[in-house]
């Protein structure tokens, strides 16, 4: 149960199920990945793919009736899933911080911004009130809130959406966490504000060396921000690899379809590629590949057998019976095991 060198986080075979009236929802069903220090990992998927549940599982914030049924989450040398609640609470916010999609519902509307920021460092770093206030102002300046000292005493409703997200980032980073989990941090924002926030996350990451997990449905955001990507579908990892490789040489029909269904503004108009059908109901998955009913290169085996997780390159895996063929179609060359670096 030790973590490999250079890794900050290792998730092994994580399963989180929700026991609902409608049946057992396998929101996250056996995912494994690693995150190196200072690296940014993107997790992409459509709604219901399990990307948010996976990350809530890491910090043990799964709401009822959800349960982590199996797996390991190694952070440094401890398994977060085995630690007592008290110990996890000390890690949350201090060493692993989160930013959520909706900055309005994540901030307390009845508390001044300063108070909410101060709470973090008073609790985790043992700051006095005066110290904590100074630190709060410093953090607000870091994330680019103009006139931070006087704005610190405003309430959340006095801030715009982009400013609130900056406050959330200030809060998340105030204890200098080693890992920042950002769950759709820019989805509720306008594009020009999104560009500002993404730039801010990049800059802060460069300066502090924090590792980041970025959860999003926007392939464009992933392309510009991450070193590695995981594509999730129906609670499973469908493809994972280096960002540059996965975008240029996708080895999974689902990834390929997603990439093709984003309109390319530089190309001429025409019929847009569309993935047919709807995402599956994870409570009632049929045997075989969960993507088979929507897949454009489906064959008989796909409806019968669950696909293997095929290694395509050193860091590149795809969950598909025909992963090698799809990868080759994209232009990828599969190297023999001893040639891989």
Partner 1 sequence: MSANSPTLLSIRDLKVHFDLGGGGPLDKLILNKPEKRVVKAVDGVSLEIQKGETLGLVGESGCGKTTLGRAILRLTELTDGQVFYRDRDLAHLSGKQLREQRRHLQIIFQDPYASLNPRMTIGQIVGEPLKTFNLARGREAEQRVQELLETVGLSKRFIKRFPHEFSGGQRQRIGIARALAVDPDFIVADEPISALDVSIQAQIMNLLEKLRREKNLTYLFISHDLRAIRHVSDRVAVMYLGKLVELADAKDIYHEPLMPYTKALISAVPVPDPQIEATRQRIMLEGDVPSPINPPSGCRFHTRCPYAIDVCKEVIPQLVEIKPRHFAACIRISPAQPHIEEVPAGAAPGL
Structure-token pair, residue 243: 């960002």
Q: Considering only 32-40, 79-87, 267-275, 311-319, which stretch makes contact with partner 1 by CB under 8 A?
A: 267-275
Q: Please tell me whether residue 276 binds partner 1 under the rule CB under 8 A.
A: yes
Residues contacting 64, CB < 8 A, separation 6+? none
Structure-token pair, residue 70: 């199996």
Residue bearing tokens 């999003």: 216
Among 155, 247, 306, 309, binds partner 1 (CB under 8 A): 247
Q: Please tell me whether residue 269 binds partner 1 under the rule CB under 8 A.
A: yes
Q: Please tell me whether residue 275 binds partner 1 under the rule CB under 8 A.
A: yes
Among 47, 86, 109, 157, binds partner 1 (CB under 8 A): 47
Q: Considering only 58-66, 74-82, 269-277, 304-312, which stretch makes contact with partner 1 by CB under 8 A?
A: 269-277
Per the CB < 8 A criterion, the answer to whether 175 and 93 are in contact is yes
Residue bearing tokens 């709060």: 136
Residue closer to partner 1 (CB basis): 222 or 320: 222
State residue 15 phi and psi, 5-degree precision. -130, 125
Q: How far is the CB of 114 from partner 1 (least distance, A)?
A: 21
Q: Please tell me whether residue 252 binds partner 1 under the rule CB under 8 A.
A: no
Q: Please tell me whether residue 278 binds partner 1 under the rule CB under 8 A.
A: yes
Q: Please tell me whether residue 50 binds partner 1 under the rule CB under 8 A.
A: no
Q: Considering only 8-16, 23-31, 33-41, 161-169, which stretch makes contact with partner 1 by CB under 8 A?
A: 161-169
Q: How far is the CB of 93 from partner 1 (least distance, A)?
A: 28
Number of chain positions touching partner 1 (CB under 8 A): 47
Residue closer to partner 1 (CB basis): 45 or 71: 45
Q: Please tell me whether residue 221 binds partner 1 under the rule CB under 8 A.
A: yes
Beta pairing class for 316-319 and 309-313? antiparallel
Q: Return residues touching partner 1 (CB under 8 A).
A: 46-47, 160-163, 190-196, 198-199, 217-224, 243-244, 247-248, 257-259, 261-266, 268-269, 271-276, 278-279, 294
């Amino acid at each position: 149960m030790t973590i490999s060198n250079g890794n900050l986080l290792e998730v092994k075979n994580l399963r989180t199920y929700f026991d609902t009236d409608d049946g057992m929802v396998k929101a996250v069903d056996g995912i494994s990945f690693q995150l190196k220090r200072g690296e940014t990992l993107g997790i992409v998927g459509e709604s219901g793919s399990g990307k948010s549940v996976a990350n809530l599982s890491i910090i043990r914030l799964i709401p009822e009736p959800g349960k982590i049924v199996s797996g390991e989450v190694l952070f440094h040398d401890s398994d977060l899933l085995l630690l007592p609640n008290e110990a996890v609470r000390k890690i949350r916010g201090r060493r692993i911080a989160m930013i959520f999609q909706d900055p309005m519902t994540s901030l307390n509307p009845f508390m001044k911004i300063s108070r909410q920021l101060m709470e973090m460092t008073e609790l985790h770093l043992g700051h006095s009130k005066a110290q904590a206030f100074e630190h709060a102002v410093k953090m607000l300046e870091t994330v680019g809130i103009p006139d931070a000292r006087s704005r610190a005493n405003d309430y959340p409703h006095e801030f715009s959406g982009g400013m609130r997200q900056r406050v959330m980032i200030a809060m998340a980073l105030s204890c200098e966490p080693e890992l920042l989990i950002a769950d759709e941090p820019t989805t509720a924002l306008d594009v020009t504000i999104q560009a500002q926030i993404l730039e801010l996350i990049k800059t802060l990451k460069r300066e502090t060396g924090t590792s980041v997990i970025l959860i999003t449905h926007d392939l464009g955001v992933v392309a510009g921000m991450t070193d590695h990507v995981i594509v999730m579908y129906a609670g499973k990892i469908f493809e994972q690899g280096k960002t540059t490789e996965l975008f240029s040489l996708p080895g999974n029909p689902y990834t390929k379809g997603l990439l093709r269904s984003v309109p390319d503004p530089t190309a001429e108009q025409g019929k847009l590629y569309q993935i047919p059908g709807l995402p599956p109901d994870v409570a009632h998955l049929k045997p075989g590949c969960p993507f088979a009913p929507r897949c454009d290169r489906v064959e008989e085996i796909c409806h019968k057998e669950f696909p293997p997780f095929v290694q395509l390159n050193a860091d590149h895996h795809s969950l598909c019976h025909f992963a090698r063929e799809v990868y080759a179609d994209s232009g990828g060359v599969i190297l023999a095991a001893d040639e891989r670096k």
